[in-house]
Chain A
Amino acid sequence: MICLGIESTAHTFGIGIVSDKGEILANARDTYKPKLGFGIIPQEAKQHHEMVKEDVLQRALSEAGIRLDEIDLISFSQGPGLPPCLWTGLEFAKKLSKENKKPLIGVNHPIGHIEIGRLTTGARDPVILYVSGGNTQVIAFASGRYRVFGETEDMAIGNALDTFARRVGLPHPGGPEIERLAKRGKYIKLPYVVKGMDLSFSGIITAAEKLFKSGEKLEDICFSLQETCFSMLTEITERAMAHTGKDEVLLAGGVAANKRLTEMLNTMCKDREAKFYSVPMEYSGDNGAMIAWAGILAYKSGQRTKEFKPLSRWRIDEVDIKWM
């Protein structure tokens, strides 16, 4: 079975093609970039996706070296995400499904991140730290579902870094730029907000901005911001491991590209004699391959989509996982 998966929850429009043996045949994408000083504007992102979708499809097909009629299943990212962007992916998937008479299945986006991570790293039953522009959650499999053990109470880590970057005049996305500047910084005290397995970033971002206005060096603020936020993420991951008794960690989502975060999690795991896995760059950010693979798992386990409409607030713990 070969599945074509469509991702369009936020910035990225992606199409991946994956076989049921777990071979990733194609992973094409195009990412919308907001103007300097702005965050994502949903309508603009949608327009971007509409513009690039045919081109991304052609690139995916030629990368895989197959024709549309050789595809057995079409999957799409049904949520959570920005409704205008979700509509583009859904309509395009419906059209392809209808024209080629192939079954269609909706996929929960975070499950895509986790499953492509398990596929590409070999992690079996990990505690997952899922960090991206719009998400910050600590997840683990327990009694039939992926359960959220900890999460942010306000903004996601990626959004927090982007917001700070924007306010101090750094380009978008903020993460890589902050990481670069942090290399030359030293520590200034910032609030550290962990409550059990939950955390909060908004107070830290406000405090960091205040430091900038009071004339502290940007390098120092970036260093402190990274050290604080990533220590918090590592701490709640460790708590979830102690709580669930699991001994693997999987880092997934766009922020997985950050080297310092990876290093911290690696150290924590080494100290606990646990295994640490990080989703390879190509598959850590939003992409179509993860939607294709999760589509195969869901379809083969007998799941069927009842209603074809975007689920912009679809939580990962609402989905029964029958393939674990």
Chain B
Amino acid sequence: MDVTGKIIGRGAEAILYLNDNGVLVKNRIKKNYRIEEIDTILRRLRTRHEARILTRAKRVGVNTPSVIDVREYEIFMEFIDGKLLKEVLNSTNSSKRREFAREIGKMIGKLHSAGIIHGDLTTSNMILKDDKIYFIDFGLALHSTSVEDRAVDLYLLHQAYQSTHFRYVKELWRNTEKGYMETFKDWDVVLKRIEQISKRGRYAKR
């Protein structure tokens, strides 16, 4: 399958292409600052790890792009041709917005139930297509069942609501919590931990 194509995104460690078959290619690029040995080990490991988590997330009922193929440094996946939730959430009508927030909470609950932490939950990492929300970019995802990791995962989303959708923070958060409670049984300890985290300096508003 074709690795090159039109560049549609560039992060700190990867370039995203859309190839001629309409497939999204996430290519972890070589970093010249680190020695070859470390560079290849990391890129291989992370590529495999991300592909595996994407696949597991899909299996537990979270909308994610389907993984089509994995190579040494590339993941080939379904291109979700929708809109970034960040761009549309503020102009959505209120009942839809509440529904979306609840759906987000439900999906996070499913991830956490499966021992997955997304690691970068913001509305720029969610795509809306045909009224369905997809989680993308599992590049920072990890396996963990710790209360702290789960709480931080959710808290970062709260911060994203606050910075990008400040007018609707309360309704978004209330409905995200609702959804989360529906799909994750230990929700109470996690929500309690979020209160503590918000009082610490480390995750104070950035």
Are chains A and B native binding partners rather than an unrelated pairing?
A: yes
Binding site for B on A (CB under 8 A): 142-143, 147-149, 151, 187, 189, 192, 195-196, 227-228, 231, 234-235, 238-239, 241-243, 263-265, 267-268, 271, 315, 317-318
Q: Is the CB of A241 within 8 A of B12?
A: yes
B interface residues with partner A (beta carbon < 8 Å): 11-13, 31-35, 37-38, 41-42, 119-120, 140, 142, 201-202, 204-206
A143, B205: Cβ atoms under 8 Å?
Answer: yes
Provided the pairs A187-B35, A189-B41, A192-B38 are in contact, do residues A148 and B205 lie with their beta carbons within 8 angstroms? no
Given contacts A195-B140, A195-B142, A264-B34, could you give 10 more A-B pairs where the C-beta distance is less than 8 Å? A195-B119, A231-B33, A231-B34, A234-B33, A234-B34, A235-B13, A242-B12, A265-B33, A271-B31, A271-B33
Contact A239 B12 (CB under 8 A): yes
In the assembled complex, the CB of A69 is this many whole angstroms from the nearest CB of chain B, namely: 40
Determine if B33 and A267 form an interchain contact, defined as CB atoms under 8 angstroms apart.
yes
- CA of A204 to CA of B140, assembled, Å: 20
Given A192-B38, A267-B32 in contact, is the A149-B206 Cβ separation under 8 Å?
yes
Determine how close the nearest CB of chain A comes to the CB of B163; give it in whole angstroms: 10
Find chain B residues with CB under 8 A from A142 CB.
Answer: 206
A interface: dominant SS: helix
Q: How far is A271 from B34 in the complex, measured between Cα atoms in Å?
A: 12
In whole angstroms, how far apart are the Cα atoms of A243 and B31 in the complex? 18
- Which B residues touch A192, using CB under 8 A? 38, 41-42
* Closest residue on chain B to residue A148 by CB atoms: B202
Q: Compute how far the CA of A309 lies from the CA of B114 in the bound complex, rounded to whole angstroms.
A: 48
Known: A239-B12, A241-B12. A187 touches B32 (CB 8 A): no
Task: Tell whether, in the assembled complex, residue B33 and residue A264 are in contact, meaning their CB atoms are under 8 Å apart.
Answer: yes
A194 to chain B, nearest CB (A): 9
Contacts of A143 in B (CB 8 A): 205-206
What are 9 pairs between A and B in contact, CB < 8 Å?
Answer: A231-B31, A231-B35, A238-B12, A238-B13, A241-B12, A242-B12, A264-B34, A317-B204, A318-B201
Residues on A with beta carbons closer than 8 Å to the beta carbon of B11: 242
With a 10 A CB-CB cut-off, give which of B32, B38, B142 has the most chain A CB atoms: B38
Q: Which residues of A contact B41 (CB under 8 A)?
A: 189, 192
Residues of A within 8 A of B31 (CB): 231, 235, 268, 271
Q: How far is the CA of A295 from the CA of B206 in the complex (A)?
A: 25
Q: Sorted from nearest, which 5 A-B pairs have the closest CB atoms? A: A242-B12, A231-B34, A267-B33, A264-B33, A268-B33
